[in-house]
Amino acid sequence: MIAGARPSARGSTASLHWLPEPLISTRGSILHQTFTVDLAPTSRLVMREEHLLGRSGEAPGHLTTRLTVRRGGRPLLDQQSAYGHPAPAWDGPAVLGDHRATG
């Protein structure tokens, strides 16, 4: 079992709650994170991941994340995000602006 995960059943009716502690992207760091989840047609996933971009008063490192979820072999979600230099416009008004936390 994954640390921080709470499964509630086994097999096709399984449910997974993935609620890890926040990931902190500190100045100078480079992190590429990928989650791929394959769900049975009747299983469920609750996932909440938070990213803190830099510590207080600190510029963030470079962080890219990708989440792919399939249910019954069919795509349900495929999402990718990138923050920190050299990602374009991540701190512009259409993305985060002055904010330094995402979830």
Phi, psi (5° rounding) for residue 38? Answer: -110, 115
Check pLDDT > 50 for residue 84: yes
**% of the chain with per-residue pLDDT over 90:** 79
- Pairing mode, strands 44-47 and 30-39: unpaired
* pLDDT score recorded for residue 47: 93
Per-residue confidence band for 14, with pLDDT thresholds at 50, 70 and 90: confident
Residue 17 domain-assigned (yes or no): no
Residue 13 domain-assigned (yes or no): no
Check pLDDT > 80 for residue 18: yes
Phi, psi (5° rounding) for residue 13? Answer: -100, 20
Check pLDDT > 50 for residue 1: no
**pTM score:** 0.80
Average pLDDT value for residue range 53-81 = 94
Print the domain residue range for 71. Answer: 23-44+51-95
Tokens coding 42: 């009747």
Residue 64 domain-assigned (yes or no): yes
CA angle 71, 4, 17 (to 5 degrees): 35
The total domain count for the chain is: 1
Contact 17, 5 (CB under 8 A): yes
